[in-house]
């Protein structure tokens, strides 16, 4: 096993080498050392063409003079070295290590892990072996044209191919069902479902975002008219910030609202797009609100959160991004972030919805924090329209029995 150890302290390099030989005494190790990032980069740059075969592992300290660990990460991310298993070690605090781990993963490097000093060589070796065992040889596949691509996305945008699901939203304190978020899929006969992460970027690139939102809105309203019992629940439709720049779209939504006054419509605005700060977009939001169409700020905290938006725009609710909620019971940093968002919303008299609630423990934690509503797989995955009424009836019966026994 060939290992490159990068650390500016010779005694640490010696300890790592000695402990590796003790941890796996039956393994033949070949070590190469570098006392700084620049030396390590030179070693990697002078490697043979198939550099990934020269080293089975690179262990790199973060804090070094003459090229630190981040310099090594950047080099590996842009060269043939990107496939080499990489272990980062440092005496930095846990939050810094998590940040470096996120940076490394964003480069799609073969990261074994980020480990705090003093180095636990046994843990590093076990992680290397575990990752190696998880790696499966990639079968040779014929390259096929994806079923959804830039060449056919326009023709796919129609009622026949659009398929809607509805994810419920509950009031945490009472368990009361309060509404549903509409989630779109493309359903092509013979090819199954295509999910938003695949087709939404194509839709936006083709300038079809308004057309898609109109289709979703029209079909969801039709579903709500099938059963009067649905009209007691809020119907939330996702809208991109770019939709706000279309006067035709805004007029379409307002017209739909006027023609369907018995349906409690809400628009969920993805907050990660800077378009929202444009005057034209702000005017569109005001026009919607004036016409009794409340706005929810979706994915709050994800990538473009600004407090001035909460101060200047009368959102009815904000939805905490699922990345902060899904590990709330285990991640103290996310717990602090969620608590701060809930406190801020309370002071602004704005309701809070937590997305990504996947366990009872997380839901109970949110209840203690004072979060209003929850949405996620613990409550229910997205539901097909044909199963909506049976699901609602079943959920309400279970809720009644639960509270009757209390």
Q: What is the pLDDT of residues 286-319, one digit of tens each?
A: 999 999 999 998 888 765 555 656 667 788 999 9
Q: Do residues 34 and 5 lie in contact, with contact meaning Cβ atoms separated by under 8 Å?
A: yes
DSSP tally for the chain: helices H, then strands E: 15, 15
Q: Report angle CA 289, 290, 294 to the nearest 5 degrees.
A: 20
Distance, in Å, from the CA atom of 376 to the CA atom of 359, rounded to the nearest integer, reads 9
Enter the tokens of residue 198.
């695949």
Enter the tokens of residue 332.
């103290």
pLDDT of 274: 56
Average pLDDT (32-41) is 93
pLDDT of 282: 82
Question: What's the pTM value of the predicted model, to 2 decimals?
Answer: 0.70
Q: At 102, give phi and psi (nearest 5°).
A: -65, -40
Evaluate if residue 159 carries a pLDDT over 90: no
Q: Do residues 192 and 148 lie in contact, with contact meaning Cβ atoms separated by under 8 Å?
A: no
Distance, in Å, from the CA atom of 121 to the CA atom of 224, rounded to the nearest integer, reads 60
Q: Report angle CA 272, 278, 282 to the nearest 5 degrees.
A: 90
Q: Which of 106-110, 120-124, 128-132, 173-177 has the highest mean pLDDT?
A: 173-177
DSSP 246: -
Task: List 266's β-bridge partners, or say none.
Answer: 236
**CA nearest neighbour of 121 among 31, 41, 53:** 31
Please report how the helices 94-106 and 69-77 are oriented relative to each other, as an axis angle in degrees rounded to 10: 20
Average pLDDT (330-353) is 92
Q: At 168, give phi and psi (nearest 5°).
A: -70, 155
Distance, in Å, from the CA atom of 63 to the CA atom of 133, rounded to the nearest integer, reads 31
**CA-atom Rg of the chain in angstroms:** 26
Average pLDDT (64-86) is 88
The SS3 call for residue 50 is coil
Helix (H) or strand (E) holding 256: helix 247-259
Name the band, by pLDDT with cuts 50, 70 and 90, for residue 82.
Answer: confident
Evaluate if residue 152 carries a pLDDT over 90: no
Which residue in the block uniquely carries the two structure tokens 């628009």? 267
pLDDT of 319: 93
């Amino acid at each position: 096993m060939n290992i490159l150890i990068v650390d500016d302290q010779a005694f640490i390099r010696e300890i790592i080498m000695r402990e590796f030989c003790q941890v796996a005494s039956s393994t033949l190790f070949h070590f190469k050392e570098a006392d700084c990032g620049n030396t390590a980069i030179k070693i990697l740059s002078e490697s043979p063409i198939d550099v990934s075969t020269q080293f089975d592992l690179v262990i790199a300290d973060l804090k070094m003079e003459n090229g630190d660990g981040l310099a090594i990460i950047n080099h590996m991310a842009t060269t043939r070295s990107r496939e080499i298993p990489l272990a980062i070690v440092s005496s930095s605090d846990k939050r810094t290590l998590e940040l470096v781990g996120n940076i490394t993963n964003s480069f799609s490097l073969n990261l074994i892990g980020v480990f705090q000093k003093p180095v636990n060589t046994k843990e590093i070796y076990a992680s290397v072996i575990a990752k190696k065992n998880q790696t499966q040889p990639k079968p040779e596949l014929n390259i096929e044209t994806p079923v959804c691509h830039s060449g056919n996305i326009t023709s796919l945008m129609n009622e026949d191919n659009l398929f809607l699901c509805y994810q419920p939203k509950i009031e945490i304190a009472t368990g009361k069902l309060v509404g549903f978020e509409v989630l779109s899929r493309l359903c092509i006969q013979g090819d199954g479902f295509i999910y938003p992460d695949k087709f939404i970027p194509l839709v936006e690139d083709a300038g079809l975002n308004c057309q898609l939102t109109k289709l979703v809105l029209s079909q969801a309203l039709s579903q709500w008219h099938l059963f009067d019992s649905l009209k007691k629940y809020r119907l939330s439709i996702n809208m991109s910030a770019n939709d706000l720049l279309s006067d035709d779209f805004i007029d379409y939504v307002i017209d739909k609202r006027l023609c369907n006054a018995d349906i409690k419509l809400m628009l969920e605005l993805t907050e990660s797009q800077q378009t929202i700060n444009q005057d034209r977009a702000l005017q569109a939001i005001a026009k919607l609100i004036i016409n009794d169409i409340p706005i929810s700020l979706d994915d709050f905290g994800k990538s473009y959160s600004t407090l001035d938006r909460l101060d200047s725009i009368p959102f009815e609710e904000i939805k905490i991004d699922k990345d902060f909620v899904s590990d709330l019971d285990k991640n103290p940093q996310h717990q602090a972030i969620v608590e701060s968002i809930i406190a801020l919303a309370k002071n602004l008299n704005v309701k809070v919805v937590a997305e990504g609630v996947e366990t009872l423990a997380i839901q109970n934690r949110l209840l203690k924090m004072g979060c209003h509503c929850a949405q996620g797989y613990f409550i229910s995955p997205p539901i097909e329209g044909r199963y909506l009424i049976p699901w609602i009836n079943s959920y309400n019966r279970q809720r009644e029995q639960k509270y009757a026994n209390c």
